[in-house]
Amino acid sequence: QVLTQPPSVSVAPGQTATISCEGNDIGSRSVHWYQQRPGQPPVLVVHDYSDRPSGIPERLSGSKSGHTATLIISRVEPGDEADYYCQVWDSRSDHLYVFGPGTKVTVL
């Protein structure tokens, strides 16, 4: 399973950022999303396409359509500037748990 993400997304404060994650088997797998701020460990922000762990604001949401999963950040704030990674489980892959290459979100 190879996951494809855009390298970067730029968004103005208050606007909406969308980050895509494409993969051949995305439609049949649970997709999870992580936020990693500079110098910090990753944080799970969305799991199983659209569920949020406790403490994650509703501004962050996930969806899926066909071969693409999407992380949506509404009403973007400066603190949302971070790298975002999608992740799936794939028993056929060299890595049992596969991460996308990451998307750098820049708040203008």
Partner 1 sequence: EVQLVESGGGLIQPGGSLRLSCAASGFSVTYDYVSWIRQAPGKGLEWAAVIYTDGSTYYAHSLRDRFVISRDNSKNAVFLQLNSLRVEDTAMYYCARMPAQTSRFHSWGQGTLVTVSS
User: Which is closer to partner 1, CB of 12 or CB of 25?
Assistant: 25
Which residues ranging from 2 to 61 are in contact with partner 1 (CB under 8 A)? 30, 32, 34, 36, 41-44, 47-48, 53
Can residue 101 be called a binding residue for partner 1 (CB under 8 A)? yes
User: Which is closer to partner 1, CB of 54 or CB of 79?
Assistant: 54
Dig out the tokens for 46 from the structure. 């969305």
How far apart CA 104 and CA 81 sit, in angstroms, is: 8
Residues forming contacts to partner 1 in the complex (CB under 8 A) are 30, 32, 34, 36, 41-44, 47-48, 53, 85, 87-89, 94-102
